[in-house]
A and B are shown apart, each in its own frame.
Chain A
Amino acid sequence: MVSPDVMIRLSGLVVRYGAFRAVDGLDLELYRGELFGLLGPNGAGKSTTVRVLIGQRRADAGQATIGGYDVARQWHRVKPLFGYVPDRDNHFDEFTGRRNLLIFADLYGAPRDRVVECLAAVELQEAADVQVRGYSMGMKKKLLLARALLHDPPVLYLDEPTANLDIHSCAIVHRILRDRVNAGKTVLLTTHNMVEVEAICDRVGIMTRGRLIALDSPLALRQQHTERKVDVVLTDGERFVFDLDRDEERGRLAELTRAGKIGSVHTREFDFHSTFLKLTGTEFD
């Protein structure tokens, strides 16, 4: 039984490239009004999952539905439901930003005023009549977002949406995404920016080797996988790391403190980045 709040549902999704299983039995539900971050190291299966959702790759097994419609079988119904921001720009470089949006607005049947609104939303009004080949990487990225918003889709997929963006532009994108989520839309983003994930995502799923290995809010994941370690520098300059969850290391630190050999102690702030590294098995000491 699918909850009416479920917007995207992946069940038993399998995608193979030859003998390699890029996605290996993925089960995932994304809700309306949710900003979901799909994370994982390179080759984990994130992009393949998105390719299935945008109809560019057929699943070898399992099913993907958006708004209750099967992506493979009801593609014509699925198509108007989403907007897609790819990781690399795909604009008509010889046209202006405005012309690019006008073409897609005409394809979507969106009113022309919507072009002005979307340009304003990503703060590209001043560059609207400049050829896209003169845009910076960040401007092109923002234009991609404006294009994806033209038809006000209930679902938005974003692949590395803030790569190459300055801090101000990142804030604009984050605001737009949060506004959409507040309006009950669903946003799925894939990113390697852990700070961004912690800042804006409601839930995250961490994939590795095609499987979902963790699924929860960033805060909950951090709490579940936190570690207590301190960096200690002795008075003679020697450095140590003590794991406070281990009795013997805790006792050794106490001895050094009593002997007056501690020069300085720094507690480690365990962030989401470390959680990610720990979960995906790519942590290094």
Chain B
Amino acid sequence: MRWRILKTLLHKEALRHATNRGGLALAGLLVTASLLLAALNPAAEQDKPGALIGGIHHCIIWYDRDSEWVRHLDASVPAGLRTNIQFYPIDVPVGLDQHLKYPTGTGGIEIRSAPGRTAAEAFRVYVRYPEGDRAGMAVYENWFWRESYRFFHARAADTLRARGVDVDRAFPLPDLGDELWAERQAYQTLVSRYASMTNGSPAGDAVPALELRERAIIGGALDLRAAIATALVLFSLCFTCVYLMPSLTCEERERGLLLAQALSPASPAEILAAKFLFYPAFGILLATLLAGIHNPHVLGRPFFWMTLGTLSVGTLGIGMTIACLAKTQRAASLGALCYMLAVALVLLVCQQHNIVYLPRLALEYHAPHILHATLTNRLQPEHWWNLAASAALAAGWAALAVILFRRRGWQ
């Protein structure tokens, strides 16, 4: 590697981008969007939870004991919520009041057996909602209380029928309505009514007491502004390394510019190195500017720089792979767009159908998690795993790009 050659090639890349009005306009738009986002969200309000809430896209039903009740709930999830409600057993040893992990933008209802004060069944129901978004759980809670009422009412009716009570007349199923407070109240009424009809015998033999506790998940809310800033930062990296780099490289190849450079004293390795240096640097510069506008404190966090470094290597690997496979500039541009759309579609489909592991093979799955965490300063231990996975995927893409380049060269 000769610095004189590298410097000339880097200067050439910089000059080419300085004359690329379309690219400059897009970069300007990204910066403008970031500035507007910051102007509309003063720093004082940035840390206020729920400044802009994106809703709760998933509700997790945790249960520590499989039961008829849980199976009834699982079977009675409405079709419209089928993809939003997930059931998981609590299979890790956690204390009654210990917290379970919730991804950003999710809430949950935890059904845990209460410590035995009496011989009767009793449960604690923890409603967990992202901080600042209590209302986001309403739709899930509505369903939960209504179906729980129906299940335990049916169980109570069977017991009463066995005792010779005319259930249809004395213990009918009331209209529960759609109000959440009314449904909760109805359940308490069910407990006391059943107890009175059984002459004060413990209700828990058919209708257990449900002790409601509500807890906010700290940092669990999706801050839409941080999400937009995350998207802008990620887009800036994808734009430079996945879109611009293959497109301009293929243009150079198509127009014979690469040949002209290859016939000069510049070696293919130097031409490649210049591109490998310039595009990630350009992407990181743009991403840093956008992130800095959103939250200047992020620039002092090592995790942010590790994230940018990892993602720039990954996106560069993707871009080089596209550049090696595409023969023309048009094919490279379309290839880059198709790649980004395809990945977005796969991630969306996986999210909608609760496919857990496949998205983890995409850099684009981990990238928003770690970027959002660092932009909002809500770093959790699992984000280090996201970063490690990103680094592994970035290394994989870079290796694929190198293999393809060695096999196909500049075609």
**Chain A interface residues toward B at CB < 8 A:** 54-56, 76, 79-80, 84, 86, 88-92, 94-95, 99, 103-104, 106-109, 147
Chain A residues contacting B265 (CB-CB under 8 Å) are: 79-80, 107-109
Specify which chain A residues have a CB less than 8 angstroms from the CB of B7 in the assembled complex: 106
Map CB proximity to A onto B304-345 as digits: 1 under 8 Å, 0 otherwise: 000000000000000000000000000000000000000000
The complex places the Cα of A104 from the Cα of B256 at a distance, in Å, of 14
* Distance in Å: Cβ of B147 to nearest Cβ of chain A: 66
Closest to B9 in A: A107
Would you call B255 an interface residue if the criterion is a C-beta within 8 Å of the partner chain's C-beta atoms?
yes
User: What are 9 A-B pairs at a CB distance below 8 A?
Assistant: A54-B263, A55-B263, A84-B263, A88-B256, A90-B256, A106-B4, A106-B11, A107-B9, A107-B266
Q: Which of A55, A90, A106, A109 contacts B260 (CB 8 A)?
A: A90
Task: Check if A99 sits within 8 Å of B255, measured CB to CB.
Answer: no
Instruction: Check A99 against B15 for contact (C-beta < 8 Å).
Output: yes
Instruction: Assess whether B8 is interfacial by the CB under 8 Å rule.
Output: yes
A90 CB contacts on chain B under 8 angstroms: 255-257, 259-260
Instruction: Please list the residues of chain B having a beta carbon within 8 angstroms of any beta carbon in chain A.
Output: 4-5, 7-9, 11-12, 15-16, 19-20, 255-257, 259-261, 263-267
How distant is B18 from chain A, measured CB to nearest CB, in Å? 9
* B-side contacts of A55, CB under 8 Å: 263
Task: Judge whether B19 and A94 touch: CB under 8 Å.
Answer: yes
Are B263 and A103 interface neighbours, CB within 8 A? no
Residue contact A56 to B259, C-beta cutoff 8 Å: yes
Q: A80-B265, A107-B264, A107-B265 are in contact. List 15 more A-B contacts (CB 8 A).
A: A54-B263, A79-B263, A86-B259, A88-B256, A90-B259, A92-B16, A95-B19, A99-B15, A103-B8, A103-B11, A106-B7, A106-B11, A107-B5, A107-B266, A108-B264
- A130 to B9: give the CA distance in the assembly, Å: 22
| A94:B16 contact, CB within 8 angstroms | yes
Flag if B257 contacts A104 (CB, 8 Å).
no
Chain A contacts for B257, CB-based, 8 A: 90-92
Whether the pair B8, A107 counts as a contact (CB closer than 8 A) is yes
- In the bound assembly, the distance between CA atoms of A91 and B267 in angstroms comes to 19
Q: Among A89, A99, A104, point to the contact of B264 (Cβ < 8 A).
A: A104
A95 touching B15 by the CB < 8 A rule?
yes
Contacts of B263 in A (CB 8 A): 54-55, 79, 84
Query: Shortest Cβ distance from B131 into chain A, in angstroms?
Result: 51
CB distance from B21 to the nearest CB of A (A): 10
Nearest to A150 among chain B residues (CB) is: B264
Give A82 to B19 CA distance when docked, in angstroms: 31
Distance from A131 Cβ to chain B, minimum over Cβ atoms (Å): 9
**A108 CA / B261 CA spacing, docked (Å):** 10
Q: Which residues of B contact A103 (CB under 8 A)?
A: 8, 11-12
Q: In the assembled complex, how far is the CB of residue B354 from the closest CB belonging to chain A, in whole angstroms?
A: 49
Contacts of A86 in B (CB 8 A): 256, 259
Residues in A with CB closer than 8 Å to B260 are 90, 104, 147
Residues of A contacting B16 with CB < 8 Å?
A: 92, 94
Q: How far is the CB of A179 from chain B (nearest CB, A)?
A: 23
Q: Which residues of A lie under 8 Å from residue B15 when comparing CB positions?
A: 95, 99
| Complex-state Cα separation, A20 to B264, whole angstroms | 31
CB distance from A88 to the nearest CB of B (A): 7
Q: How far is the CA of A97 from the CA of B263 in the complex (A)?
A: 19
Nearest chain B CB to A160 CB, angstrom units: 14
B4 neighbours in A (Cβ, 8 Å): 106, 109
- The residue in B8, B266, B267 that gathers the most chain A C-beta atoms within 10 A of its C-beta is B8
- Please measure, in the bound complex, the distance between the C-alpha atom of A88 and the C-alpha atom of B178, giving whole angstroms: 75
User: By CB atoms of chain B within 10 A, which of A56, A80, A107 has the most?
Assistant: A107
Q: Tell me the complex Cα distance, A126–B86, Å.
A: 73
Q: Which residues of B contact A80 (CB under 8 A)?
A: 265
| Set of chain A residues within 8 Å of B264, measured between Cβ atoms | 79, 104, 107-108
The interface residues of chain B lying within 8 Å CB-to-CB of A106 are: 4, 7-8, 11
How many Å from the CB of B251 to the closest CB on chain A?
Answer: 10
Please report the C-alpha to C-alpha distance between residue A92 and residue B264 in the assembled complex, in whole angstroms.
15
Q: Give the residues in chain A near B20, CB-CB below 8 Å.
A: 94
Interface centre among B11, B255, B267 (most CB of A within 10 A): B255
User: Chain B residue with minimal CB distance to A80?
Assistant: B265
Q: Which residue of B lies closest to A144 (CB)?
A: B260
Chain B minimum-CB-distance residue to A55: B263
Q: What is the CA–CA distance of A103 and B261 in the complex, to the nearest angstrom?
A: 10
- Min distance, Cβ B257 to any Cβ of chain A, angstroms: 5
Report B285 CB to chain A, min CB distance, Å.
Answer: 21
A94→B17 CA distance, assembly (Å): 10
Q: Across the interface, name the chain A residue whose C-beta is closest to B19.
A: A94
Contact partners of B266 in chain A: CB under 8 A: 107
Instruction: Give the docked Cα–Cα distance between A99 and B259 (Å).
Output: 18
Residue of A nearest to B8 (CB): A106
Contacts of A84 in B (CB 8 A): 263
Kindly state the separation between the CA atoms of A60 and B125 in the bound complex, as whole angstroms. 78
Task: Report the minimal beta-carbon distance from A58 to chain B, rounded to whole angstroms.
Answer: 12
Nearest CB of A to B265, in Å: 6
Closest CB pairs A-B (n = 5): A90-B256, A106-B8, A107-B264, A94-B19, A90-B260
Give the residues in chain B near A79, CB-CB below 8 Å: 263-265
Please state if A107 and B256 are interface contacts (CB–CB under 8 Å).
Answer: no
A91 to B261, CA, bound (A): 10
Listed residue (A84, A86, A90, A147) with the most chain B CB atoms within 10 angstroms of its CB: A90
- Min Cβ gap B176→A in Å is 70
